Amino acid sequence: MLRADTVIAGDDLVPLENCFVVVEDGVIVSVGPDCDELAVDVELGELTVVPGFIDTHVHLSSDASPHLDLNSSLDLATLLLRRDSSDDLTTLLLQIVSNVQRFLRVGVTTVRDLGGPFTLGSEVRDAINRGEIFGPRLLVANRPITVTGGHGHRIGIECDDTVALRRAVRQLVKDGSDWVKVMASGGFANFRRSEGKAPYFPLFTLNEMRTIVDEAHRYDLPVAAHCQNREAIAVAFEAGVDTIEHCTFAASPHAVLDEDLVRAIAERGTPVVPTVNNYWLTIGVPWAPRDIALANLRRLHELGVRLVAGTDMGLPTTTPEMYAEGLKVFDAIGMDPRQTLASATTLAADAIGLAEVTGSIRPGLAADLVALAGNPLTDVDAYSRPRVVVARGQVLSFGASVRTPTGSDRARR
């Protein structure tokens, strides 16, 4: 059992004072001021306890090097396609393991990996689930679906007709994927150099996109669509994808929202992951000047779109340690502090199908918690100060005083 002066609990994220959280076998049993005279195993004092954070859009096989060029940085994966190299494979696996464990240190207890080479993501996920590696809860898409030479083709499955698309979805099912990731448009593979005009037109027709979605849903796999331009967003939305990634409305010379389409997305409740990260408030993003990009994001929020936290970790310098910078972007566009927290917890869990598993501090859910120095409902910088992380009931301390149970304490329980 743990105790803190403040625990932000329940699906409504309500602060509770002098609150106890009782955990058994990694699951929350009770939350509230009544401790039933049980001994406190973890005393967190003035730290504020919130649900474990969720990053819904990452690329774990990347090292996020400042010199990374996503058009050429995946040469290691390309080499693996051409020859058998156990050393290279080990390097990629270690990169994924390193990144998932770095996420834990900043309080991210659930991660959705939306695109990586081969089946490495699902293999690491399975190792975590078996207890062989300690890491966050992991959902994986493995190889993204794209067109020949399209965005992500170095690690993806290239498809140019509906037969190939059905085969690709079935292959992802065979590979043990939790999600299907489809590149509905081109992308900005490098901050300073785009893929020509590819970000500004859709890669798949509506019929092709429906083929992907229908086949994936037939196997109970949800679909996440990478969408940079208005037409790609419309195609993905009409086809019924489960989450829209980026949703930038990229155009030349800069992004312009289609508010009717945005209202339709909001009305249906399709979650949007705008991949907010450390670029937005510093060097800016490639599809619009910073003020326009922020104004567009603000308008998505004002029109009622469900915005969900995801960093696109793996881009140059977007490391796991930068997770909190994305939440500061939501704060900068005027999102209510409780909505910002929800974007990283309750809303994020619901968006990726885990609302009955994690995302909130309430009985029956996994004990995924973060203790912060400061209260994120009053201080957005608190997200950058995790001190204790609890992942499925296991406690990790990063500088805070944590009281561990004695033999007599255990006897009282």
User: Are 42 and 94 within one domain?
Assistant: no
CATH number reported for the structural domain that contains residue 215 in this entry: 3.20.20.140
164 burial level (CB within 10 Å; 0-12, 13-18, 19+): middle
357 assigned to some structural domain? no
User: Are 147 and 265 within one domain?
Assistant: yes
Residue 85: the pLDDT is: 55
User: Are 272 and 258 within one domain?
Assistant: yes
387 assigned to some structural domain? yes
| pTM for this entry | 0.93
Residue 192: the pLDDT is: 46
310 assigned to some structural domain? yes
231 assigned to some structural domain? yes
Question: Which of these three, 299, 332, 351, is where a domain ends?
Answer: 351
User: Are 93 and 40 within one domain?
Assistant: no
pLDDT average per 10 residues of sequence, the chain (413 residues)? 96 96 96 77 95 98 71 44 60 92 97 95 97 96 96 93 98 98 88 71 97 98 98 98 98 96 98 97 95 98 98 94 98 98 98 98 98 98 97 84 48 35
User: Are 60 and 44 within one domain?
Assistant: no
Residue 83: the pLDDT is: 45
> The domain containing residue 39 runs over which residues?
2-51+362-412
Question: Which of these three, 307, 327, 351, is where a domain ends?
Answer: 351
Residue 89: the pLDDT is: 80
User: Are 292 and 181 within one domain?
Assistant: yes
Residue 197: the pLDDT is: 85
User: Are 259 and 323 within one domain?
Assistant: yes
User: Are 115 and 6 within one domain?
Assistant: no
37 assigned to some structural domain? yes
User: Are 137 and 284 within one domain?
Assistant: yes
144 assigned to some structural domain? yes
CB within 8 A of 97, min separation 6: which ones? Answer: 124, 133, 135
CATH number reported for the structural domain that contains residue 38 in this entry: 2.30.40.10
User: Are 332 and 188 within one domain?
Assistant: yes
Count of domains for the chain: 2
User: Are 194 and 214 within one domain?
Assistant: yes
